[in-house]
C-alpha cells in the first residue's frame, strides 16, 4: 500500500500553509498601520499571496483527485466522514477567502496587480458600502480558515501520537517508514 501523497501535492500543501500564514501576518499588521508607502507595499504583498493561493487551488484539487492514495484507509467511518467534511471546508475556504479579498479590493477601488506586473480585472464596480461588507466577509472567511487549519493540524497530531496510524506521515515524508 502506498504510504503517502505524491511530492507535488505534499509541496503544495506546505506551500499553501506558508502562504496563508504569511498573508495572515501581513494582513494583521496592516490593520494598525497608518497610510504609508510601506503599508501600500504590504497590501500588494498580501494580495499577491492571496492570489497565489487562489491560482494554485485548481492544481491542488487536480492532484488530490488524481492521487491513488486511499485517504480513508484505517479510519473509523465517522473519521472518514469528518475528514471528508474538513477537507471540503478547507478547499471551499481556500477559494472563498482570496476571492472575497479580490472582490473587496475591487469594490474599494484598488486594483489587484499580481506581482506588480499582471493587472487582474475588477470583479465588481467601485462601491464603498459593498467594500465594507466584503471586508467583513473576507476577514470572517480567513478566521474560519485558520480555525479549520488548527483543527486539521490537531487531528493530524492526534493520529500521530494517539492512533499511531500514519495519517500525518502522508504529508510529512520523513515520518514514513522505510520500505
Domain with residue 161: its CATH number is 1.20.950
Does 88 map to a domain?
Answer: yes
Range of the domain at 124: 7-174
The pLDDT score that the predictor gives to residue 128 is 97
Whether residue 37 is contained in a domain is answered as yes
For the stretch 18-47, pLDDT in tens is 999 999 999 999 999 999 999 999 999 999
The pLDDT of 58-83, averaged and rounded, is: 85
Q: Is 2 inside a domain boundary? A: no
Structural domain contains residue 52: yes
Is residue 124 in a domain? yes
With respect to residue 179, please indicate whether it lies within any of the assigned structural domains. Answer: no
Does residue 24 lie in a domain region?
yes
Q: Count how many domains the chain has.
A: 1
What CA–CA distance (Å, rounded) separates 145 from 53? 13
Q: What's the confidence (pLDDT) of residue 2?
A: 54
The answer to pTM > 0.75 is yes
Q: Please, what is the end-to-end C-alpha distance for the chain in angstroms?
A: 11
Kindly indicate the confidence band of residue 1, based on its pLDDT and cuts at 50, 70 and 90. Answer: very low
- Any domain includes 1: no
Amino acid at each position: 500500500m502506498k504510504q503517502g501523497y505524491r511530492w507535488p501535492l505534499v509541496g503544495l500543501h506546505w506551500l499553501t500553509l506558508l502562504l496563508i500564514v504569511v498573508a495572515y501576518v501581513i494582513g494583521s499588521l496592516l490593520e494598525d498601520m497608518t497610510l504609508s508607502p510601506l503599508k501600500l507595499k504590504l497590501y500588494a504583498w498580501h494580495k499577491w499571496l492571496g492570489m497565489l493561493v487562489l491560482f494554485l487551488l485548481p492544481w491542488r484539487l487536480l492532484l488530490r483527485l488524481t492521487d491513488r492514495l486511499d485517504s480513508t484507509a484505517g479510519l473509523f467511518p465517522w473519521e472518514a466522514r469528518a475528514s471528508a467534511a474538513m477537507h471540503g471546508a478547507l478547499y471551499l475556504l481556500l477559494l472563498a477567502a482570496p476571492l472575497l479579498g479580490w472582490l473587496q479590493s475591487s469594490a474599494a477601488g484598488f486594483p489587484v496587480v499580481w506581482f506588480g506586473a499582471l493587472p487582474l480585472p475588477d470583479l465588481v464596480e467601485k462601491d464603498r458600502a459593498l467594500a465594507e461588507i466584503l471586508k467583513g466577509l473576507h476577514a470572517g472567511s480567513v478566521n474560519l480558515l485558520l480555525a479549520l487549519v488548527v483543527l486539521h493540524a490537531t487531528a493530524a497530531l492526534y493520529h500521530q501520537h494517539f492512533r499511531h496510524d500514519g495519517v500525518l506521515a502522508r504529508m510529512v515524508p520523513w515520518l514514513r517508514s522505510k520500505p
